[in-house]
Amino acid sequence: MAIRTTKKAITAVGVVALATFFAACATNDPVVGRAGSGQFGEGVPDHDGWALVWHDEFDGSSLDERYWDFDHGDGSLVGIPGWGNNEWQYYTDDPENVFLRDGKLVLRAIEQRRFDEFGSGRYTSARIVTRGKLAFTYGRFEARMKLPAGKGLWPAFWLMPEPVELDENPFARAGEYGGWAASGEIDIMEARGSRPHEVSGAIHYGDNWPRNVYQTRAYRFPEGRTFEQFATYAVEWEPGEIRWYVDDDLYFTATEWYTTGPDGTRVAFPAPFDQPFHIILNLAVGGHFDGYPDPDAPYFPAEMEIEFIRVYQRPR
């Protein structure tokens, strides 16, 4: 099944979800569950060769914390102030920054300063994660979303390795092969707010920073469309191959990568992309990717809207 739940996740999921999970194992149907309200699989179309295992349609009254958690602050708590990219946002779980509205998840960036024990920022925004609650090895990951335009905005939908020491240390972030990016990173979609006609996908791998490397490719929308309209962004991650799509249009395939283990030796392919990864959705402001907003930029507050997120895996 290639799905990992930690002790924390088992506690959070609850008796009903666990009963569904173990019943699925017994029937070779790798169902994990459904966030929010409604029946599992209700209204979700099939994908040839893929079986739905988990989804969130964001149709409840609040974010389903059985599956989602929040990152806080400016990254200082995990040793990367500015989140490693000189970003300007401070992440919160405040209802003005992250909420459900009309069946959609909204991540909102606001121009307002924040300073406390979690760090500081010129803007507040939100980053939600399934870390510690839900992680997958391989699968199709897709989300339908509408993104905000404006220089310095950096919305993203991505996967990071599940920390191997998370149960012992809530601030642990290193995966099976070490820290970033030896254990890998899969960027399903990231966008520069100054370029509303394109998005991109990427993988990061190879070794710990600064000896890491990456591959990336951009997707340009057809004439008359931008990322300010809803589109479905997806990755199909299989052993030895990762494919990126926008509205089921394949635009990037990666088949070659490598990584170095903690002892400094090369690890057998397809490492590092052979371990559980968790899901991240966030709206960053500033940083190396798209630069910084001008003071009093007119596009704040800026909103990233997510209609659904769905995970499929190959039937066993």
What pLDDT score was predicted for residue 192? 98
Burial class (CB within 10 angstroms; exposed 0-12, middle 13-18, buried 19+) of 101:
exposed
Q: Are strands 51-56 and 33-35 parallel, antiparallel or unpaired?
A: parallel
Question: How high is the pLDDT of residue 189?
Answer: 98
Partners of 260 in beta bridges: 266
pLDDT digits (tens, 9 = 90+) for 61-107: 999 999 999 999 999 999 999 999 999 999 999 999 999 999 999 99
Which of 253, 216, 227 lies closest to 238, judged by CA?
253
pLDDT over threshold 80, residue 13? no
CA angle 126, 132, 137 (to 5 degrees): 105
> How is residue 275 annotated by DSSP?
S
pLDDT digits (tens, 9 = 90+) for 219-257: 999 999 999 999 999 999 999 999 999 999 999 999 999
How much of the chain, in percent, has pLDDT values that exceed 90? Answer: 83
List pLDDT tens digits, range 47-58.
Answer: 989 999 999 999
pLDDT in the model for residue 4: 59
- What mean pLDDT value characterizes the chain? 91
List the catalytic residue out of 57, 87, 142, 185.
185
**Residue 46 confidence (pLDDT) above 80:** yes
pLDDT digits (tens, 9 = 90+) for 124-153: 999 999 999 999 999 999 999 999 999 999
Could you please report the per-residue DSSP string of 31-72?
--EEESSS-TTTTPPPBTTBEEEEEE---SSS--TTT-EE--
| pLDDT above 70: percentage of residues in the chain | 91
- The per-residue pLDDT for 221 is 98
The predicted model gives 270-294 an average pLDDT of 97
Mean per-residue pLDDT for 16-32?
A: 47
Which pLDDT belongs to residue 316?
81
Look at residue 174 and tell me whether its pLDDT is greater than 90: yes
252-255, long-range: CB < 8 A, 24+ apart: 252/201, 252/217, 252/219, 254/203, 254/215
Structure tokens at 179: 């820290």
User: Which of the four pLDDT bands, split at 50, 70 and 90, describes residue 295?
Assistant: confident
**For the chain, what are the domain ranges?**
3-313
- The predicted structure's pLDDT at residue 238: 98
Which whole-number Å values give the CA distances from 114 to 121, 124, 153, 297, 304, in the listed order?
Answer: 5, 7, 18, 18, 21
- Higher local confidence (pLDDT), 7 or 277: 277
Catalytic residue among 190, 236, 303, 305: 190
User: What pLDDT does 296 receive?
Assistant: 87
Active site residue 185: yes
Quick one: pLDDT band at residue 2, thresholds 50, 70, 90? low
The rounded distance, in Å, linking the Cα atoms of 267 and 271 is 6
pLDDT of residue 86: 96
- Alpha helices, DSSP H only, in the chain? 7-26
Task: Quote the pLDDT of residue 30.
Answer: 65
Residue 23 pLDDT exceeds 50: no
Q: What share of the chain is helix, strand, coil (3-state, %, to 5)?
A: 10, 40, 50
Contacts of 54 (CB under 8 A, 6+ apart): 31, 32, 33, 34, 35, 67, 134, 310, 311
Q: Class for domain 3-313, per CATH?
A: mainly beta
Average pLDDT over residues 12-31: 42
